[in-house]
Amino acid sequence: MTSLSVEMLAADAVEPITSAGNAQLGIAVLAGIAVIVLLITKLKMHAFLALTIGSLALGSFAGANPAKTITSFTTGLGSTVASVGVLIALGAILGKLLADSGGADQIVDTILAKASGRAMPWAMVLIASIIGLPLFFEVGIVLMIPVVLLVAKRGNYSLMRIGIPALAGLSVMHGLIPPHPGPLVAIDALGANLGVTLALGVLVAIPTVIIAGPVFSRYAARWVDIEAPEKMIPQRPSEDLDRRPNFGATLATILLPVVLMLVKALVDIVVDDPENHVQRVTDVIGSPLIALLAAVLVGMFTLGRAAGFTKGRITSTVEKSLAPIAGILLIVGAGGGFKQTLIDAGVGQMILEFSENWSIPALLLGWLIAVAIRLATGSATVATISAAGLVAPLAADMSTSHAALLVLAVGAGSLFFSHVNDAGFWLVKEYFGMDVPQTIKTWSVMETIISVVSLAFILLLSLVL
């Protein structure tokens, strides 16, 4: 980025809420993040409260007027929830319909019936990637791990040989592919094109999930050779198998929002004329709100009604899907508030100026910042939101494809080395019956491989786009 573009950005920027110099501002950022880390890791405080307090601490350390800090935080919280809150809710509804109707089981059973032996790890990564498209990571884990344990037990497979591919599929979808919350917020913060980000994300995800899943699972199975813990293996009642949606309809419903968003991206690239009627139509149906809403409405019939749900049962399923996401919405919103506080304090401009002196490429810088926040807080979503806010000024003069790649670089960094301050770490540990060292050697290493390998492919794409 040229010095002229930096000056232009500075001229267009909103007046910072503090007059602190770069040194004080840098200390304030570190102090704010340290407060969040301390509250989450040591005091076990909910991430929503920790992010709220951390934002206020950041403003205080930067010497900002408390009233202005509060305004920045609430503005960021509101705009973030407004932009992604409905999408998170629609994704939760679709995921609940998929799980309760037996559609997820139908996909699993169909694919597993056609796979055996050496093909099984590849089948598991395929299942997890498909299941992980509309589901939150934690929901995907809860849904997939019982299947992993059943397959490992019945097929006499090493648990890591089956489990790592499934976890890799879910994690890659969570970090790189919208409509997951992290990528959606990063797209919004960086002004990236959702369709282009989705297309490039899929392109990066395929080789990444292969290397971190089936390939790495061979080594993970040697390092940690354990069997599925008997107490965790579910006993599935026979009535669950009586009536289910068929495989084709279930798969089509899951992929519908992705297909609509990809169609929009392709039309935007090929047509590139806002007045064109075809592009106008695809701009509407390919928007994430309409695409997910269409999938939910279709799913009520292809999943709910196909499973024999009454209208009342479908309504009940929708209601039950919304309650668990309240915490997610608050965390995402507070992360957006923290991001806005960083921006309004002038941190984005500071990072922009420093990046010129460091001569670090924007994609690598976005990845490194996300890695640092991920290691500190344990939350991939918080890391994505915060890092996207910090590097947002770098995307100002980027092309459409490079802005999308910056979103993916931030998402890749947010997955780096999950450890003891990450809820996912403990979820995997308990379900698989491992101790902490075993979990680090398998799950934590897998997450790091995903982060590094996806960055490598992102950097390669940046050379040709």
pLDDT at 4: 29
**Half-sphere exposure for 258 (CA within 13 Å, toward CB):** 21
Residue 236, helix vs strand vs coil: coil
- The b-or-e profile of 229-258 (16+ CB within 10 A means b, else e) is eeeeeeeeeeeeeeebbeeebbbebbebbb
Q: Helix, strand, coil proportions of the chain in percent (round to 5)?
A: 80, 0, 20
pLDDT at 412: 96
pLDDT at 233: 56
pLDDT at 357: 67
| pTM: predicted TM-score of the whole model, two decimal places | 0.69
Please report, as a single letter, which amino acid is at residue 275.
E
One digit per residue, the tens of pLDDT, for the chain of length 465 reads 333 233 333 333 456 777 777 788 888 888 888 888 788 778 888 878 988 999 899 889 988 888 989 998 998 888 878 877 787 788 778 878 887 888 877 776 777 777 777 888 998 898 888 877 766 676 667 667 767 877 787 778 889 999 999 999 999 998 998 877 788 889 988 989 888 898 899 999 999 999 999 999 999 999 998 887 766 554 443 444 467 888 888 888 888 887 887 788 778 767 767 788 888 888 888 887 888 899 899 999 999 888 888 899 899 988 988 887 787 788 878 877 887 887 788 776 676 566 666 678 889 989 998 888 888 666 787 788 878 888 888 888 889 999 999 999 999 999 999 876 676 787 788 778 888 889 889 999 999 999 999 999 999 999 998
Question: Rounded to the nearest 5°, which phi and psi values hold at 66?
Answer: -55, -40
143 contacts 105 by C-beta, under 8 angstroms: no
Which residues have CB under 8 Å from 405's CB, separation 6+?
200, 363, 458, 461, 462, 465
pLDDT at 236: 43
Which of 41, 54, 43 has the alpha carbon at shortest distance from 376? 41
64 contacts 29 by C-beta, under 8 angstroms: no
* Burial (CB count within 10 angstroms: exposed 0-12, middle 13-18, buried 19+), residue 18: buried
pLDDT at 14: 53
pLDDT at 360: 81
Return d(Cα 175, Cα 384) in angstroms, integer. Answer: 9
